[in-house]
Amino acid sequence: MSNLAVDLKQKTTSKTKINLEVSKAFKIWISALTIAFLIGGYFIVERFITGLAATNLSSITPWGAWIAFYIFFVGLSAGSFLLSTLIYVFGMEEYERVGKAALFTAIVCMIVALTFVLMDLGRPERLLNAIIFWNVTSPLAWEVHFYMVYIGLLTAELYIAMREDLVRAAKMNTLKGFVARLITFKNATINAATKKRDHMWMKILGTIGIPLAILGVHGGTGTIFAVVKARPAWNTALFPIIFVVSAMVSGTALLLAMYIIKKKVQKQPIDQGMVVSLSKMMVGFLIIDLGLQFYEYLIGWYGLEAEHLDSLATMMASEKAWSFWGVQMFLGAVVPITIVFWKKTSQNINALLAAAVLIVIGIIGVRFNIVVPPLVVPVFHELPWGNYAPTIKEWMVSVGVVAMGLLIYSFGELLLPIEETSDEVSHNGK
Partner 1 sequence: MGLFSNEKKVDYDKIVDKMLPDARKELDESQYDTELGLNMARDARKVISGKLKIEDFHKVYSSSLTKEFGNYYASETPDTKKKSDGPKWAMVIDLKKCVGCDTCTVSCKAENRTPPGISYNVVMESLEGEFPNIKAVNLPRPCMQCDKPACAQVCPTRATYKMENGIVAIDNDRCIGCRYCIVACPYGARSFDFGDSYEQEMVGYNDVTSPEYGKERGNREKGKTPIGTVRKCSFCFHRLQRGEEPACVETCIGDARFFGDISDPNSVVSKLAASPRAFRLKEELGTHPNVIYLR
The single residue among 269, 319, 380, 430 that binds partner 1, judged by CB under 8 A, is 380
134 vs 322, beta carbon nearer partner 1: 134
Can you tell me the distance from the alpha carbon of 250 to that of 286, in angstroms, rounded to the nearest whole number?
9
Q: How far is the CB of 58 from partner 1 (least distance, A)?
A: 7
Name the DSSP letter for residue 420. P
d(CA 165, CA 238) in angstroms, rounded, equals: 42
Is residue 153 at the binding interface for partner 1, with CB under 8 A as the rule?
A: no
Single out the residue of 141, 334, 361, 414 in contact with partner 1 (rule: CB under 8 A): 141
Q: Nearer Cβ to partner 1, position 57 or 402?
A: 57
List, as one string, the DSSP characters of 274-326. Answer: HHHHHHHHHHHHHHHHHHHHHHHHHHHHHTT-HHHHHHHHHHHSSTTTHIIII
Report if residue 302 touches partner 1, rule: CB under 8 A. no
Beta carbons within 10 angstroms of residue 22's beta carbon: 13
Residue window 96-125: x/- pattern of binding to partner 1, with contact defined by CB under 8 A: ---------------------x--xxxxx-
The C-alpha atoms of residue 80 and residue 87 are separated, in whole angstroms, by: 11
Find the helix or strand (DSSP H, E) in which 94 lies: none
Nearest distance from C-beta of residue 384 to partner 1, angstroms? 9
Contacts of 380 by beta carbon, 8 Å cutoff, 6+ apart? none
Size of the chain in residues = 430
**227 interacts with partner 1 by CB under 8 A:** yes
Interface residue with partner 1, options 171, 186, 229, 267 (CB under 8 A): 229
Q: Contact at 8 Å (CB) between 320 and 368?
A: no
43, amino acid identity: F
Give the residue with the Cβ less far from partner 1, 63 or 325. Answer: 63
* Chosen residue from 53, 193, 237, 304 binding partner 1 by CB under 8 A: 53
Asked if 197 is part of the footprint of partner 1 (rule: CB under 8 A), the reply reads no
Of 3-11, 153-161, 257-265, 371-379, the window that binds partner 1 (rule: CB under 8 A) is 371-379
Minimum distance of partner 1 from residue 70's CB (angstroms): 11
- Indicate the DSSP class of residue 212: I
According to CB under 8 A, which one of 230, 237, 273, 343 is a site residue for partner 1? 230
Give how far Cα 175 sits from Cα of 29, 51, 140, 181, 280, Å: 19, 41, 40, 10, 38
Q: Whose CA is closest to 410, among 104, 198, 8, 112?
A: 104
Please tell me the count of residues contacting partner 1 according to CB under 8 A: 43
Q: What are the backbone dihedrals phi and psi of residue 428, each rounded to the nearest 5 degrees, phi first?
A: -55, -40
The span from the CA of 124 to the CA of 54, in Å, is 14
With respect to partner 1, which residue has the nearer C-beta, 137 or 187?
137
Pick the binder of partner 1 from 9, 381, 395, 429 (CB under 8 A).
Answer: 381
Site for partner 1 in 11-50 (CB under 8 A): 50
Nearer to partner 1, 117 or 248 (CB): 117
Q: Which is nearer to partner 1, 225 or 324 (CB)?
A: 225
394 touching partner 1, by CB under 8 A: no
Rounded to an integer, what distance in angstroms lies between the CA atom of residue 166 and that of residue 179? 9
As measured in angstroms, the least distance from the Cβ of 136 to partner 1 is 9
Stretch that binds partner 1, among 2-10, 130-138, 270-278, 413-421 (CB under 8 A): 130-138
Q: How many CA atoms lie less than 13 Å away from 425 in the CB half-sphere? A: 23
- The answer to the question of residue 56 lying near partner 1 (CB under 8 A) is no
Q: Is 196 helix (H, G, I), strand (E, B) or coil?
A: helix
**Which of 127, 148, 389, 392 touches partner 1 by CB under 8 A?**
127
Q: Give yes or no for a contact between 389 and 68, defined as CB atoms under 8 angstroms apart.
A: no
The window from 39-47, 178-186, 226-234, 310-318 that contacts partner 1 (CB under 8 A) reads 226-234
Interface with partner 1 includes 237 (CB under 8 A)? no
Interface contacts to partner 1, rule CB under 8 A = 50-53, 57-60, 62-63, 117, 120-124, 126-127, 129-130, 132-135, 137-141, 144, 224, 227-231, 375, 378-383
